[in-house]
Amino acid sequence: MNATFTMPGSDAISLVRFSAQFNAPSLSDAVTVAVNALRDSKLEISAWCSPAAMKYKRLGAYEMPTGQTGRKGNADTAVLKLSDGSLVSVFHPWKQSHWNVDTDLVVDSVQGAAETIANASRLARRMLAEPTTTTANISLIAADAWGPAVPLVGPRMLALTCTEHEVRDGYEDPAAFWDSGWTGIEPFGARSFLTRALECSNMVECMRATLPQQLALARNAKPGLSKYGSPALTAATQEVYFAGEPALNTVGYLDAEEAVELACALKPPLHVQAWEVTNIEAALRAKTLPDGRHVRAVHVVFLYESMAHAEKRPLLDVGAKVFYYDSEGALRAY
């Protein structure tokens, strides 16, 4: 069963999403933090909008927005307009103690995505220089969507902040998380700013750079914390997603159990493919195979325990049953 949905369109990156959380005593203070960070990151602000007037006012190069309410109510919001048309929202989330600064930076058709990602990276580092900033993340917005989404890390995320405690909460082997392929790990107090694939210019380059790491993180994640789902891909990214030979082979169907049996005899550095995991998940959700037979279970049998141990987590997360042969040839289950 192929669980992939093919999207029309190109593999272009349309927007680069930046999000940060920080603490400030009032809307006025929060806006001041955001304005200074944007200007220090070479992002020009052309206008702003107050929560009361909801009408944009021009903002000079050295001016600060004035006339905000100054209160710390849940509905407080200010919007800053950048010279390229991107909108930056500074707001106080409902029933939260922190402030957010969020923006979808428009990708310039001439300078390209890499320059926009560089702008977002400068903004992230500048925000993290503020002692009250707790998170700063960068992700890509495009037609494509794929998984898995693993603890702390979305599949199209290029930068994030986390603590050692958060990593221990999400992963069986924290050291493997830190060594999974980040191109940069920068300390900001108790938090680290992790980056990858910052020079990618389209979604094909992004997927090539991030999908192997995303799967490695999924294999290391604690039970039930990763999300898969059916990917939506363009023709270009579909070629990358389905690259490589399958690791699982169908060897039988158990009529009494309505179970498909798959066999796996992997040798490092090969792994079960992402699309094999999502196909199993789709079959179990649909409870049927392409030929019409019902399926209530998928059994994946590994030749050795070491193989099963390395590959088991994504398979178990989507509902498959994982087995292996022990040193005496007996079939064992996880």
Instruction: Summarize pLDDT for 218-228 with one digit per residue, the tens.
Output: 999 999 999 99
DSSP letter (8 states) at residue 61: T
Q: What is the pLDDT of residue 70?
A: 46
Determine which of 66-70, 95-99, 186-190, 316-320 has the lowest per-residue pLDDT on average: 66-70
pLDDT band at 18 (very low <50, low <70, confident <90, very high): very high
- The mean of the pLDDT values for the chain is 91
CA-wise closest residue to 201 among 135, 304, 114, 311: 114
pLDDT band at 8 (very low <50, low <70, confident <90, very high): very low
The CA distance from 102 to 19, in Å, is 4
- Outline where DSSP puts E strands in the chain: 5-6, 15-22, 45-49, 57-58, 77-82, 87-91, 99-106, 133-141, 157-162, 184-188, 191-195, 232-233, 249-254, 259-264, 297-302, 321-325, 331-333
Instruction: Summarize pLDDT for 67-88 with one digit per residue, the tens.
Output: 665 444 445 889 999 999 999 9
